[in-house]
Amino acid sequence: MDMTKKERIQAALAHKEVDRIPLGMWYHLPHVDQDAVALAETQIQMVSDYELDFIKMMPFGNYQAADYGLSCTYYCTPTQAVFERKFAIENVEEWGELQSVPGCFGNHGKVLLAAKEIARQQKKKGLEIPFVQTIFSPLTIARKLAGDRVFEDMRKHPDLVHHALKEITKTCINFAAENVNVGVSGFFFASQCSTYDLMTEEEYKEFGTQYDLQILNAIKNDTYFNIIHIHGENTMFDLLSSYPVNAVNWHDRWVAPNLAQARKRTDKCLMGGINEAWLHKARPEDIKMHIQEAVELAGKTGFILTPGCCASMLTPKENFLAVKEAIKSI
């Protein structure tokens, strides 16, 4: 018997048998990500086009930092993502001036409206598609506000940076609660600083984990589909995969551990298998083998086929369609 999208996702998260491996796909949508309604419409259409099993919401990557004063350039074309123009934190004292904002303020509010619109359109069309809101870790947001100077500042002026992280965390918790009220299935919680290339594990526990867990613990009982995205190379995989989430996503096809190794290091559902750095230049005929390799590594239970991070905006539609067809035959 065919499963619904929600049943398929919930079965994968619980390591139960599925009628087919669930599929997710996401990439930046800068031509619509400033319009909450258009963003919702586009992401629901992607589900139809590629037979996706959930929506990973795609607000622009700097949306949270922009509400604290980050200045961005908005190109609004299909292939040019929003990019930072001027950092908000230019001297260390400014960390101490940062204050929380309501979870419905500014860009947070616009992204919340997109979640409301996805819920509204689903109800109107009689759909039940799991959808997860994208939220960045407080330290990731701090880095977006100041660039890599955040690491020097946290070592030399920890009290000021901790003040800022506490305020950012307040906003994240309030924003998460607003999204829960809208009806999101969970959150895609992205950590872009949990790598040994930037910090020691002890530093991350102090400036990252303690704030990450405040947010994740605030949502874990109200949602069923929470994902930790571990971004970058040389990551603190074991630390982050132990978080109170339902699934783990990372660049598994080109960053250790691979899917088979990860099976031995976490009992969470694994999300990955598609090399997002390769998909846009792949030949459609090679994609089926690529996905078969992923399934051999991960197994067919406790696994959701997705990219390891955002797919390239240059990926041709025929390659996404090739992924859709490949997963049907496995």
pLDDT tens string 9-50: 999 999 999 999 999 999 999 999 999 999 999 999 999 999
- For the chain, give the mean pLDDT: 98
User: What are the tens digits of pLDDT across the range 290-323?
Assistant: 999 999 999 999 999 999 999 999 999 999 999 9
How much of the chain, in percent, has pLDDT values that exceed 70? 100
pLDDT at 98: 98
User: What are the tens digits of pLDDT across the range 210-251?
Assistant: 999 999 999 999 999 999 999 999 999 999 999 999 999 999
* Distance between CA atoms of residues 143 and 310, nearest Å: 19
Q: How many Å separate Cα 225 from the centre of its chain?
A: 12
pLDDT band of residue 330 (cuts 50, 70, 90) is confident
- E strands, the chain, are 55-56, 71-73, 83-86, 131-136, 186-191, 227-230, 247-250, 269-274, 303-307
Question: Taking 90 as the threshold, does the pLDDT of residue 254 lie above it?
Answer: yes
pLDDT average, residue stretch 165-181: 98
- pTM metric for this prediction: 0.98
Domains and CATH numbers, the chain: 5-328 (3.20.20.210)
Q: Which residues of 195-204 are buried (b: 16+ CB within 10 A; e: fewer)?
A: beebbeeebb
User: What are the tens digits of pLDDT across the range 83-124?
Assistant: 999 999 999 999 999 999 999 999 999 999 999 999 999 999
Distances 252 to 256, 275, 305 between C-alpha atoms, Å: 6, 8, 11
pLDDT average, residue stretch 146-163: 98
pLDDT at 121: 97
Alpha helix (H) residue ranges in 79-130: 106-125
pLDDT at 246: 98
pLDDT at 314: 97
Q: How many Å separate Cα 54 from the centre of its chain?
A: 13
pLDDT at 154: 98
User: What are the tens digits of pLDDT across the range 41-89?
Assistant: 999 999 999 999 999 999 999 999 999 999 999 999 999 999 999 999 9
Map tokens 């694994």 to a residue.
270
Question: Taking 90 as the threshold, does the pLDDT of residue 1 lie above it?
Answer: no
pLDDT at 329: 87
